[in-house]
A and B are shown apart, each in its own frame.
Chain A
Amino acid sequence: NAGVTQTPKFQVLKTGQSMTLQCAQDMNHEYMSWYRQDPGMGLRLIHYSVGAGITDQGEVPNGYNVSRSTTEDFPLRLLSAAPSQTSVYFCASSYSRRVMGETQYFGPGTRLLVL
C-alpha cells in the first residue's frame, strides 16, 4: 500500500491563480480531511469527508473547495489564491470517524507559496 499520497510536493502561485492539490489513499478509508499548518498554529482543519459524495466544512474553509467523487480521492481546490494561503497542506485519512476515534494517517504534505 502507498498509504496517503499528495501531489505536488511544492507549488508557487501568483495571487489570483487557481490550482488543485491532489490527495489519494489506497486503504479504502471512509474518512478524509485537509489541514493547513502554519508556524505556531498547529494544524487547522479545512474540509473533511466521511464518504464519497459527502463533504463538510472544518475550522478554516474560506477560499477552498473540495469534492469526493470516489473513496480514493479528495482534491482541494484554491479558487483564487491569496498570500494568506501560503502554508503547508496535509491530507489525512482514517477508516472511519463515526466510531470513538480512529487512527488518522497523514500524507507527506504540499508546500504552497502564494506571491
Chain B
Amino acid sequence: GENVEQHPSTLSVQEGDSAVIKCTYSDSASNYFPWYKQELGKRPQLIIDIRSNVGEKKDQRIAVTLNKTAKHFSLHITETQPEDSAVYFCAASRGDDMRFGAGTRLTVKP
C-alpha cells in the first residue's frame, strides 16, 4: 500500500518568516494530495489540496507544489502568524484509500 513520509516532525519559525513542510509518497498511482491543519483538541481541517494534473496551487499565504516524477509534494506558508501554530498533516490517495503522514508540529513565535 501507499506510504507517506513527512518532514520535519517539528518546525519553529519567527512570526513573518516562511515555513516549508515536505512529504514523499511511494505509490505512483496516487492522484490526490490534501493538507490538513489540526489545532490542539480539534478535528483535522482541509487547508489546501492538489491533484496530480496540477503542479502548483496557491491560496493566499498557503501554496502546495507537487513533483510527480520525484513523488514528493510540499506545503509553503508565507508571512507566518501565531495562529498558524498547529499540527499539519499531508496525505496521498488514489481513489478510496487515503494515507497520512505522521504530522509536523509548527510553532510560530511572536
B44 close to A106 (CB less than 8 A): yes
A103 close to B49 (CB less than 8 A): yes
List, in ascending order, chain B residues with CB within 8 A of A33's CB. 98
Partner of A106, one of B1, B45, B93, B96: B45
Partner of B96, one of A43, A59, A97, A100: A97
A42 close to B32 (CB less than 8 A): no
The count of residues in chain A whose C-beta lies closer than 8 Å to any C-beta of chain B is 26
Is A53 an interface position by the 8 A CB rule? no
A100 close to B43 (CB less than 8 A): no
List, in ascending order, chain B residues with CB within 8 A of A31's CB. 96
Is B62 an interface position by the 8 A CB rule? no
- The smallest beta-carbon distance between B88 and chain A, in angstroms, is 11
| Residue in chain A with minimal CB distance to B46 | A103
Is B31 an interface position by the 8 A CB rule? yes
Partner of B31, one of A41, A59, A100, A108: A100
Is B102 an interface position by the 8 A CB rule? yes
C-alpha gap A98/B45 in the complex (Å): 21
Is A75 an interface position by the 8 A CB rule? no
Q: Which A residues lie at the B interface, using CB under 8 A?
A: 31, 33, 35, 40-45, 48, 50, 56, 58-59, 90, 97-98, 100-101, 103-109
